[in-house]
Structure 1
Amino acid sequence: MTDATPQVSAEGDLSLEGRPEQVLAFVLGGEPHAVALDRIRLVQRAEDIRPLPQAPEDVIGMIEVLDEAVPVVNLAKVLGLHEADHPEHVLVYNSGKGLVGFVVDEARGVVSATRAPLPQTLRRGEACLIALARHGEETAYLLDLEAVLPGPVGMSAARKGGYSAESESNGG
């Protein structure tokens, strides 16, 4: 039996770098991304999105989840990534502010991944990009969806530096 001590990252987040964890893998802006599974309520088809009049710029509509109206955020737009012409899925996230949907190109499913620290070139202070998630031959960007929620700290903080998926090679 080995003793794996959790490490505290530079951002103060408790992480288990190198230990497998369950994440939801998805494609956003044509690149692999992932989020921790613990706060994902469900994945729904994007075709269920209905327009929401007078919504904030990043909210593209709403979906209904168990008779509850859930706003849907254009995650690619918020992060400054290429927006898919026909996104396929909405990740329904259970935030501290209630349910929020994030439209993504395609949800791939639950995978076991290990966290790896971000390369220096991607560390720009924004809290939404927290680590790399490695599963199989693929390396994905691990996001903190709480950091991109609408509000004074959420989306505006994510926009300050943005990030480019093209600035990191698959070699790590």
Structure 2
Amino acid sequence: MAIKPKRTAREIAARKRAMERALGFNAARLRREKELTDLAADFLQTRELEGDVLAVLEEDIARLRAEAQSRCEALHRQGATVVVSMTGKGEGAGRIAQRLGVGVGEVRQLRDSVAPAGAEGPGAARRMDAAPVGARERAAAQGQGQGGIQTGTGAPGAPGAGGTGPRWAGGGVVEAGPGAG
């Protein structure tokens, strides 16, 4: 059997210092672990709050979009009412479009989107835009049908009668074709 050597005081002191150092490292490591765990908990809490803020934001955006859509629809109806009023004053779609700086198609779409009281179905607000202002009256006085188109057989300018058809200038029928008075 081997004899165990006796430990010296120096060895014992070195071993004691090593154990204290190891315990210190362990305590520091435990403190560091606790700090990292606390930081991770803070991070997770901020992520949860971030999600809550984003959810509230999305709800606010949806509400604001609905309000804006409602306001836009009201303004669209208001614009359509203006177009219908202008149409009611005898203005044609082309002239309304020119005055408002929009296309004729948009004017007609706006006009048709608002039906006056007592009208039936879509497009009931439509007035006869085919003829410019006053053309109906002139056409009736000249024996022509709706929109300045001549009616009857053999009328000058009528299709198949050898005429050129009605001539338009600026806002009404100027001349109903060759041979018209």
In which range does the TM-score fall when normalised by the shorter chain? under 0.3
TM-score (norm 1): 0.21
Which structure would you say has the larger RCO, counting Cα contacts within 8 Å and 6 or more residues apart? 1
TM-score (norm 2): 0.20
Greater fraction of residues in strand: 1
The structure with the larger Rg is 2
Greater fraction of residues in helix: 2
